Amino acid sequence: MNAYKSRVYDAILVEKLSAHGAVLIRGAKWCGKTTTAKQIAKSIVYMDEPQSRDSNILMAKVNPYILLKGEAPRLVDEWQFAPTLWDAVRFMVDQKGDNENSQYACHVFCRGCGDGRSCNFRVRH
């Protein structure tokens, strides 16, 4: 595996995450969304991991907060498999307010958020 090469997006992600409770990273397949987020993530949950995919999707329906536990910033990779996770992140950001940033790096959300609780940026080749 090649060593990671810093990108302009690294600094943008750090800046966005320091100002918002959650960040959505959007972009085309294989443009580096997960790789970029992994550079700053302290913990990760992979929603598309074959061994735990079905149980993660079920857990997201039953109690999404269990999947969101972990050291911040937490990367929730491929979370579109369980859209209730985004609802839970938005709720947590609302509860913590501006003084206590919950710092979730969530990526690949195919709809715009525009809710004021989070920001998003697009990664391009």
Nearest-angstrom CA–CA distance, 77 and 91: 19
What would the mean pLDDT of 80-95 be, rounded to a whole number?
Answer: 87
Q: Predicted confidence band at 99 (pLDDT cuts at 50, 70, 90)? A: very low
Sign of CA dihedral 36, 31, 20, 53: negative
Instruction: Find out whether the peptide bond into 64 is cis, omega within 30 degrees of 0.
Output: no
Give every strand in the sheet of 22-27, ordered side by side.
Answer: 43-46, 74-77, 104-107, 22-27, 119-123
Q: Predicted confidence band at 109 (pLDDT cuts at 50, 70, 90)? A: very low
Residue-level pLDDT at 107: 45
Q: What are phi and psi of 2, to 5 degrees?
A: -75, 150
Query: What are the extents of the domains in the chain?
Result: 21-123
The rounded mean pLDDT for the chain is 79
Architecture of domain 21-123: 3-Layer(aba) Sandwich (3.40)
What would the mean pLDDT of 79-100 be, rounded to a whole number?
Answer: 80
Residue-level pLDDT at 95: 82
Residue-level pLDDT at 117: 46
Chain segment 29-41, per-residue pLDDT in tens: 788 888 888 898 8
